[in-house]
Amino acid sequence: MSTKTKSRNASKTKTRRATGTKAKGTTSKSETDAKNVKDTVTKIVESKREMKYVYPEAMDDQIEKKKFRQKVRNHIYKLERDIAKAEGKELKTLEKEYKDFRKEVLQVP
């Protein structure tokens, strides 16, 4: 019985030594990439929350305001996608339309 327990313990110590050989001061590329992704995601969420809208005068209901905000966000995202795909004169017109729309609808464009 004692020989079986020795072999079990011996195999456990070997695996512990194999995993413990990594230096403490170094970080892997995947760890730093994960840290960078977390930072960028936080920045994106903060910028979306900073949008302040200019509502039409007759809009008082919360549900109407919510629909308005969603339409504005969708239109802004659509324009951003189109700008990324556009080239030349079309790009300039889309950028102008994008800036004008933001000035019209957002408090801080």
Name the CA dihedral angle for 71, 76, 82, 84, rounded to a multiple of 10 degrees: -150
Examine the pLDDT at 13 and tell me if it is beyond 60: no
Q: Which residue has the higher pLDDT, 39 or 101?
A: 101
pLDDT digits (tens, 9 = 90+) for 24-64: 566 677 777 777 766 666 666 555 557 789 999 999 999 99
d(CA 94, CA 109): 16
**Confidence class for position 19, pLDDT limits 50, 70, 90:** low
d(CA 103, CA 76): 12
Find out whether 83 and 91 touch, Cβ atoms under 8 Å. yes
Q: In whole numbers, what is the pLDDT of the chain averaged over residues?
A: 78
CA angle 85, 87, 90 (to 5 degrees): 100
Q: pLDDT over 70 for what percent of the chain?
A: 62
**Secondary structure (DSSP) of 35-86:** HHHHHHHHHHHHHHHT--B---TT---HHHHHHHHHHHHHHHHHHHHHHHH-
- pLDDT score for 25: 60
